[in-house]
């Protein structure tokens, strides 16, 4: 939520009380330098003890509610027929209106099941944008991902409210070119993660559905960030300001044939599921659930998490929860823009993003601007962010490097975890870094894994720039900061 102050300023306001806390420490710059070197300039390899604000991801890192924790205490650990599962299935019926629920241990496990059941070699899967694990699963099974976003999606300095929309002309074209038999489904990702947490509009989704259905093609929604997408529709799309988040979520779910999600994001738990009201689709996926995930009533999740997702699903449609991250992200982005920093606009869900190509214009894609900036941000602030650029792209089948469309550094804002003063600190250190940005050079792989290399790759800073940046920081702030 946001609130208007008497001086006219609007600030994010927390609609919760903090009752359990986790201590965090700010390691001094000298320690940050050795931690970054030990981590191979890969923020995934840092340890929590070396991180001040963990803005790597909002996945599984949200604050849970008292009701979620309470539900975990009464979970039913039965292997088969767990009552916890039936609470989840009821929540899915009440919130999504979907009759069938297939639990999976997390979002990528749901993607694996969908790929296994629906994708055959030579298929193409049109979507508004890929997510890293989606691309890996769909392509491992022989499919090809086709991103058919609108031109505005790649403009990081935009005012377009719905950069997550699918380009409908391109969809017609793809269907004409490949034919419906090679298109198992169209995938629409809510609050499109890799382009900066940008939503699709309901008008666009309705059209996507109409076109897909005209050709007998299924519509699959990745609902990992569904409540934020609904929150933006309510704020930004004409005709929705008096609709509830629940009504908007229901309308999205009525349009799709299948939904899958990571329960680690909007639902503020850990786990995932696939849901549908189409019995035939449900029965095609169901046999594979115990093969890859676990029995039908836990799907690889702890039953404690099943309980937590069931409660999280009901809570995420409350406006205070749906907007918990989005409103702090908006404040963060507005402050960055005021300071003249190249933040992605409009503000999205899940995270504030910096455009690393604009921040570090001297670096080419294969010097990894977003990876370099993520490392520099850590050195200058102790804030752990995530590279979402060329390092996050794997090489193609011939081993060639692929330049990412965008080079973003993601400052995830997990729901109900950080405060306005944390954001003020981040903005201050980023201003400093922007003034010293000419000290930052590129990175080079020392160890490069063959798939999802961003997780486990190790890199070196070209020309030892890390040391020079830390020396400049210490000269300005002293040795203890």
Catalytic residues: 79, 131-132, 222, 265, 388, 454
Q: Quote the DSSP letter at residue 411.
A: E
- Minimum Å gap between C-beta 133 and ligand F0G is 5
Instruction: Say how far apart CA 408 and CA 359 lie, in whole Å.
Output: 10
- Phi first, then psi, for residue 364 (nearest 5°) are -80, 165
Compare residues 272 and 457 and give the one whose CB is closer to ligand F0G.
272
Instruction: Say how far apart CA 192 and CA 115 lie, in whole Å.
Output: 20
The dihedral sign for the CA sequence 263, 265, 266, 269: positive
Site residues for ligand F0G per CB under 6 A: 57, 59, 106-108, 131, 133, 189, 193, 222, 224-225, 262, 264, 272
Rounded (10°) CA dihedral 421, 425, 428, 433: -160
Compare residues 103 and 442 and give the one whose CB is closer to ligand F0G.
103
Compare residues 92 and 175 and give the one whose CB is closer to ligand F0G.
92
- Minimum Å gap between C-beta 268 and ligand F0G is 13
- Minimum Å gap between C-beta 399 and ligand F0G is 26
- Minimum Å gap between C-beta 348 and ligand F0G is 12
| 58: nearest Cα among 255, 211, 209, 193 | 193
DSSP 389-401: SGGGSPP-TTS--
452: tokens are 């999802």
Cβ of 221: how many Cβ atoms within 10 Å?
27
Cβ of 176: how many Cβ atoms within 10 Å?
10
- Minimum Å gap between C-beta 280 and ligand F0G is 24
Q: Closest residue to ligand F0G, Cβ-based? A: 107
Compare residues 108 and 416 and give the one whose CB is closer to ligand F0G.
108
Give strand ranges (E) for 282-406. Answer: 351-355, 383-384, 386-388
User: What is the layout of strands, in order, in the sheet containing 272-276?
Assistant: 100-104, 272-276, 258-262, 218-222, 185-189, 124-127, 144-147
- Minimum Å gap between C-beta 169 and ligand F0G is 25
Compare residues 342 and 349 and give the one whose CB is closer to ligand F0G.
349
Compare residues 222 and 355 and give the one whose CB is closer to ligand F0G.
222
Cis peptide before 423, with omega less than 30 degrees from 0?
no
Would you say 148 and 129 are in contact if contact means Cβ atoms under 8 Å apart?
Answer: no
Compare residues 59 and 325 and give the one whose CB is closer to ligand F0G.
59
102: tokens are 């297939």
- Minimum Å gap between C-beta 190 and ligand F0G is 7
Would you say 391 and 371 are in contact if contact means Cβ atoms under 8 Å apart?
Answer: yes
């Amino acid at each position: 939520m946001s609130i208007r102050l008497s001086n006219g300023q609007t600030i994010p306001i927390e609609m919760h009380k903090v009752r359990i806390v986790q201590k965090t420490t700010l390691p001094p710059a000298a320690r940050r330098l050795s931690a970054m070197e030990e981590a191979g300039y890969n923020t995934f390899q840092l340890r929590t003890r070396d991180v001040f604000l963990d803005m790597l991801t909002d996945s599984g890192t949200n604050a849970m509610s008292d009701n979620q924790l309470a539900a975990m205490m009464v979970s039913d650990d039965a292997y088969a027929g767990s009552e916890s599962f039936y609470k989840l299935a009821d929540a899915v019926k009440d919130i999504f209106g979907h009759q069938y629920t297939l639990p999976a241990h997390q979002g990528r496990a749901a993607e694996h099941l969908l790929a296994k059941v629906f994708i055959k070699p030579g298929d193409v899967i049109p979507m508004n944008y890929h997510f890293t694990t989606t691309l890996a699963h769909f392509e491992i099974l022989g499919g090809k991902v086709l991103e058919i976003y609108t031109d505005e999606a790649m403009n990081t300095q935009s005012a377009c409210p719905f950069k997550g929309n699918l380009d409908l002309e391109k969809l017609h074209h793809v269907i004409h070119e490949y034919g419906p038999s090679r298109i198992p489904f169209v995938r629409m990702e809510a609050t499109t993660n890799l382009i900066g947490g940008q939503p699709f509009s309901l008008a666009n989704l309705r059209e996507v559905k109409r076109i897909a259905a005209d050709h007998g093609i299924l519509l699959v929604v990745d609902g990992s960030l569904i409540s934020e997408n609904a929150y933006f529709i309510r704020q930004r799309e004409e005709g929705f300001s008096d609709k509830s988040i629940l009504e908007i979520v229901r309308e999205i779910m009525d349009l799709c044939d299948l939904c899958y999600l990571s329960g680690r994001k909007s639902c503020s738990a850990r786990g995932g599921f696939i849901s549908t009201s189409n019995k035939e689709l449900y029965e095609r996926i169901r046999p594979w659930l115990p093969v890859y995930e676990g029995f039908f009533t836990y799907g690889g999740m702890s039953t404690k998490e099943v309980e937590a997702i069931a409660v999280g699903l009901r809570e995420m449609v409350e406006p205070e929860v749906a907007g918990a991250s989005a409103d702090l992200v908006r404040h963060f982005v507005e402050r960055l823009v005021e300071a003249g920093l190249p933040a992605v606009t409009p503000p999205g869900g899940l995270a504030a993003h910096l455009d690393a190509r604009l921040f570090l214009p001297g670096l080419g894609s294969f010097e990894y601007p977003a990876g370099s900036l993520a490392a520099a941000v850590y050195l200058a602030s102790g804030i752990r962010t995530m590279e979402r650029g060329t390092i996050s792209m794997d090489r193609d089948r011939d081993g060639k490097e692929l330049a990412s469309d965008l080079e973003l550094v993601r400052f995830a804002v997990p729901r109900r975890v950080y405060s306005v003063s944390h954001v003020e600190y981040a903005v201050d250190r980023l201003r400093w870094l922007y003034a010293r940005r000419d000290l930052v050079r590129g990175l080079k792989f020392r160890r490069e894994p063959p798939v999802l290399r961003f997780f486990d790759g190790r890199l070196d800073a070209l020309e030892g720039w890390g040391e020079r940046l830390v020396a400049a920081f210490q000269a300005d702030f002293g040795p203890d900061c």
